[in-house]
Amino acid sequence: MNPRILLPVLLGTLLACGGGGGGNSTPATASSLTYADPAAATYLLKKNTALSTSGHLVLELWGPAGATGCGVTAAFTLGGTAASWHNVNAADAAGTYVANGTAFDLGAGTPILKAKLTGTSLAATVAEKGTGAPKALDKALLRIALDLKTGLAPGATATLTPDAAKCKVLLADGTLAPITIAVSGITAQ
Q: How far apart are CA 111 and CA 97, in angstroms?
A: 15
Rg (CA), the chain: 24
Domains, the chain: 29-188 (2.60.40.680)
pTM, to two decimals: 0.85
Average pLDDT over residues 56-82: 97
Do 62 and 140 touch, CB atoms closer than 8 A? yes
| pLDDT, tens digit (0-9, with 9 covering 90-100), for 141-181 | 999 999 999 999 999 999 999 999 999 999 999 999 999 99
Question: Of 15-24, 98-107, 169-178, which range is least confident?
Answer: 15-24
Q: How many residues does the chain have?
A: 189
